[in-house]
Structure 1
Amino acid sequence: MRRKLERAWRTRRARAGTIAAATTAVALLAAPLAMAGPNGFGSESGGHGSGGDGDWVTAWSASPQGSSTLGKFGAETVSGTNQAELLKQITPPITAFNDETVRQVMYLHQGGDAVRIRLSNQFGNQDVTFPTVTVGKRAGDSGADVEGAPVPVTFDGSDSVTIPEGGDVLSDPIPLETEALDHVVVSMFVPAGQGPATVHGNSMQTFFTTPGDKTAQTDDANFTENGIVPNRFTSSLTTAVYYATGIQVEGEEGDKTIVAFGDSITDGFLSDGNTDGRYPDALARRVQENPDTANLSITNQAISGGRVLSQGFGPSALDRFDKEVLEQPNIGGVIFLQGINDIGGAIFQDGLGTATADQLIPAYKELAARAHAKGVPFYIGTLTPAGNLLRPTPYGQYSLPQAVAERNKVNEWLRGEGSRYFDGVIDYDAAIRDPLVPDWIALQFDALDNLHPNQAGYEKMAESIPQEFLDQMANG
């Protein structure tokens, strides 16, 4: 019913804006994206305004950050491409699934009449084969039971797919009607001998495993739930996403993918497990409540511990931006929040020092220019507080006076002279800082590590995005 109502009001809105939309389309069609490389986005997604995307948008995503090095019940948050050698020496064995079904739950930020599943072997050390993959809507509000029967996922018409080392693959369109804010369950059978899994280390969502091929099983009986979620600290360190990096839905004309791009603050580190409490999740709920912005699909391309200028726990923003933003189907904008790890010098990363505002600012300009060259709006957020020396953040140098000074310099530039380089500046800093000690996160928004917001803080960040920016992206 809701999708029928959405179709009705979207049709009315589309008719009202036909002339403006046609004019915009002519301008955008003049500069389509080049075809993508081996990552496979470009073969299905021609880029912003290219006309090759149909009505597909990305409704869920997780940025791959490396191969698992910490075991499927360990701290995968700090797995990744630049993990400290000392940490590697003391961690559990890598996650290499052994004749197991891996069942994972994803929170869709847009609905549609069909889905496509993206699987990645970007950081594997050999080809990986999945004999069977299924998808279905989750039954109920928790667990991993499937509503009805799981639907087989095919790849070029075949149930089985082999992904070469370093590659990824997008499935065929699979008929499955979904609505925005539904949960779907993706199950994949992973035979023994596949090597280390490509991982996104911080999912804030438990996953399920069981011996053998149980991809067609409707309920989650005899599955083991992996992850510990009695509080936000344990869930941040024990939940992960394996192999799956995106779900696209075939939505309605005018739907747009909006990428929330960043680090652990966008990734929802220290939000509550199994509650969809990241700020992009809260933003997705916000845009869906408003008919004028319900065509936006907010997708999350964040890596906890990620940096702008160099590898953190995963590729740098400069290295992954084009693939994870500009090659999304029907890309309508990016909301960028990253840089605090460059300034603070996150721990457990080899060979990296700290960066200055003068080093970050040119990178921000470059990323905005890349987006604008493809006709993609670029919104940027101020860096959030971490300066409480009475309770310094434990992950690096974030709370030291020199780091606080560099953060403030970045924010002053964004609010002032630098604002002209972007389509809008979102003042996340002002939204969650302490009014009396502005270098601190306000206590009601602090996850108590003096760096990350808590669930209320993430909600506040989503609320702080000006409505006019959302309207611009919805109507762009």
Structure 2
Amino acid sequence: MTRAIKVRHVLAALVTTLLLTPPSASAEAGPLLGPFVLAPTPTWTGTWEGAASGTVPALPGATIRNVVHTSVGGSAARVRISNRLGTRPLQLGSVTVALQEPGAPRSAKAVAGSMRTATFGGVGAVTIPAGRDLVTDPVYLPIPADGNLLVSVHTPLDSGPATYHRSALQANFLAPEGNRTTEESGTAYTTGIGNWYYVTGVDVLGTSAAGSVVTLGDSITDGTGSAFSANRRWPDRLADRLKALPPPRRLGVLNAGISGNRLLLKGRGPSALDRFDADVLSRTGVRVVIVMEGINDIKGAPEETDPAVIEDAYRRLVSRAHARGIRVIGATLTPYGGHGAYTQAREAVRQEVNEVIRTSGLFDAVVDFDAVVRDPARPSRILPVYDPGDHLHFNDAGMKAMADSIDLAELAPWAP
């Protein structure tokens, strides 16, 4: 290898290390990028997140077109590609970003002229070691708020288990053969899938937002019960409210909900305690986190019967967030009477945990989802108008009621 080629390789690696780390990223969450952070000018802000919930077999030779919904817009985007839960190096043949055809949330078609190829330190094809994330170079494209992006990923070889988000509640697409990342028409994407593969975050550059809020939770936060491909999860509804605020109070919304997630133990995805760094602290521009975790610990197997153990876990999360200057809002656990896992003993634990959330002063603020959605005649149950039928999750009306109950002033108390 000539000296000139060696120099180019070193410079490409240095650019990746120094320029691409999100401003709030930790060395643990983005170890491939290193611990160095340059002062962002202008500011990057998180606009979307899909937390890694597990792995599935790889799709070698295929192209996955992920559809992700922005909360705030900007002049450019950068995408986090994750091999965090993988066991082998992930080979990426190509990654592209485009705007989805407006008004067609179940279409793989891109807006004409919007397709952009993403690079990593100037290189298009890269390998991500197992257990790592990599963030793209800036992709210069006007990014709308409250719009859909197409993030297409081609994996030419079998790189082992694929890191994914299981319950996307969004129509995504698969082109079974070949590198179809730059195809605008979407005709090669003949298979629909309900998961996000490899893509776990999107940041935008130059937005007027003051930062981002992360919603850390389980299936209720993930959106189970809400309409498919409609972006009506309660964090989406929160983003709708925030976008109408003046810029100093506006925040991007990052949904770190995982269906089946637990606070203390591994369930679907790592526990909230274990994934807090990767899914909250490493995200870009985080100012606030809303924590709604614990119901699966109470009703799951094994079940947690001691409210003090759950309180201690909350305290540890709050301490870690405060160490990074992040405000923490606690959300009460909602009713599930009528669900197959309900018992009076578990209900007593839920009530005690909610009392801790409301009255202990542990959190910087509280949002009382329980009070909003419970049936006054039967407080252990959800109001029928909000119940999709399983007595645990929420339909679109319930999701909206939850989002509407959040005091926006508590999300940005520093703003005028």
Query: Of 449, 452, 455, which residue of structure 1 is paired with 2:390?
Result: 449
User: Residues 429, 42 of structure 1: CA spacing in aligned structure 2 closer, same or farther, 3 A cutoff?
Assistant: farther
- Alignment correspondent of 1:196: 161
Query: Of 362, 366, 371, which residue of structure 1 is paired with 2:316?
Result: 366
User: Residues 176, 67 of structure 1: CA spacing in aligned structure 2 closer, same or farther, 3 A cutoff?
Assistant: same
Equivalent AA in structure 2 for residue 252 of structure 1: T
Task: Give the structure with the larger helix fraction.
Answer: 1
Give ranges in structure 1 of 5+ residues lacking alignment.
1-31, 69-94, 228-238, 347-351
Equivalent AA in structure 2 for residue 340 of structure 1: I
User: Residues 322, 192 of structure 1: CA spacing in aligned structure 2 closer, same or farther, 3 A cutoff?
Assistant: closer
Secondary structure, counterpart of 2:91 in structure 1? strand
Secondary structure, counterpart of 2:232 in structure 1? coil
Deviation at 1:38, TM superposition (A): 5.7
Give the whole-Å Cα distance in 2 for the aligned partners of 1:136 and 1:34: 25
Task: Give the structure with the larger strand fraction.
Answer: 2
Counterparts of 1:252-401 in structure 2, within 5 Å, are 252=207, 255-291=210-246, 295-345=250-300, 352-388=302-338, 393-394=339-340, 397=341, 399-401=342-344
Query: Of 200, 214, 224, which residue of structure 2 is paired with 1:245?
Result: 200
Deviation at 1:407, TM superposition (A): 0.4
Equivalent AA in structure 2 for residue 39 of structure 1: G
Contact kept, 8 Å, 1:130 with 1:188, in 2: the verdict is: yes
Secondary structure, counterpart of 2:348 in structure 1? helix
- Alignment correspondent of 2:13: none
Contact kept, 8 Å, 2:78 with 2:137, in 1: the verdict is: yes
Contact kept, 8 Å, 1:45 with 1:52, in 2: the verdict is: no
Secondary structure, counterpart of 2:180 in structure 1? coil
Is it true that 1:67 corresponds to 2:55 in the alignment? yes
Deviation at 1:65, TM superposition (A): 1.7
Give the whole-Å Cα distance in 2 for the aligned partners of 1:41 and 1:325: 18
Secondary structure, counterpart of 2:238 in structure 1? helix
**TM-score (normalised: structure 1):** 0.78
**Cα RMSD over matched residues?**
2.1
Contact kept, 8 Å, 2:90 with 2:129, in 1: the verdict is: yes
User: Residues 38, 430 of structure 1: CA spacing in aligned structure 2 closer, same or farther, 3 A cutoff?
Assistant: closer
User: Residues 422, 110 of structure 1: CA spacing in aligned structure 2 closer, same or farther, 3 A cutoff?
Assistant: same
Is it true that 1:432 corresponds to 2:373 in the alignment? yes
Counterparts of 1:101-120 in structure 2, within 5 Å, are 101-120=63-82
Deviation at 1:252, TM superposition (A): 3.3
Give the whole-Å Cα distance in 2 for the aligned partners of 1:353 and 1:465: 29
Secondary structure, counterpart of 2:347 in structure 1? helix
Query: Of 94, 116, 129, which residue of structure 2 is paired with 1:132?
Result: 94
Deviation at 1:456, TM superposition (A): 0.9
User: Residues 57, 33 of structure 1: CA spacing in aligned structure 2 closer, same or farther, 3 A cutoff?
Assistant: closer
Counterparts of 1:210-249 in structure 2, within 5 Å, are 210=175, 211-227=177-193, 239-249=194-204
Deviation at 1:40, TM superposition (A): 4.1
Secondary structure, counterpart of 1:438 in structure 2? strand
- Alignment correspondent of 2:346: 403
Contact kept, 8 Å, 2:53 with 2:269, in 1: the verdict is: yes
Give the whole-Å Cα distance in 2 for the aligned partners of 1:213 and 1:41: 25
Give the whole-Å Cα distance in 2 for the aligned partners of 1:146 and 1:265: 31
How many residues get paired? 390
Secondary structure, counterpart of 1:403 in structure 2? helix
Query: Of 166, 170, 179, which residue of structure 1 is paired with 2:144?
Result: 179
Of 320-329 and 379-388, deviating more is: 320-329
Is it true that 1:422 corresponds to 2:363 in the alignment? yes
Give the whole-Å Cα distance in 2 for the aligned partners of 1:45 and 1:271: 40
Give the whole-Å Cα distance in 2 for the aligned partners of 1:355 and 1:275: 37
Deviation at 1:34, TM superposition (A): 8.7
Residue deviations 1:243-283 (CA, integer Å, cap 9, x gap): 10001111336530110111111100121111011110110
Contact kept, 8 Å, 1:55 with 1:252, in 2: the verdict is: yes
Give ranges in structure 2 of 5+ residues lacking alignment.
1-22
Equivalent AA in structure 2 for residue 67 of structure 1: T
User: Residues 163, 343 of structure 1: CA spacing in aligned structure 2 closer, same or farther, 3 A cutoff?
Assistant: same
- Alignment correspondent of 2:170: 205
Contact kept, 8 Å, 2:170 with 2:229, in 1: the verdict is: yes
Contact kept, 8 Å, 1:135 with 1:186, in 2: the verdict is: yes
Give the whole-Å Cα distance in 2 for the aligned partners of 1:317 and 1:127: 25
Secondary structure, counterpart of 2:378 in structure 1? coil
Deviation at 1:52, TM superposition (A): 4.9
Contact kept, 8 Å, 1:206 with 1:225, in 2: the verdict is: no
Secondary structure, counterpart of 1:270 in structure 2? coil
User: Residues 218, 45 of structure 1: CA spacing in aligned structure 2 closer, same or farther, 3 A cutoff?
Assistant: farther
Give the whole-Å Cα distance in 1 for the aligned partners of 2:249 and 2:229: 24
Equivalent AA in structure 2 for residue 226 of structure 1: G
Query: Of 437, 460, 466, which residue of structure 1 is paired with 2:401?
Result: 460
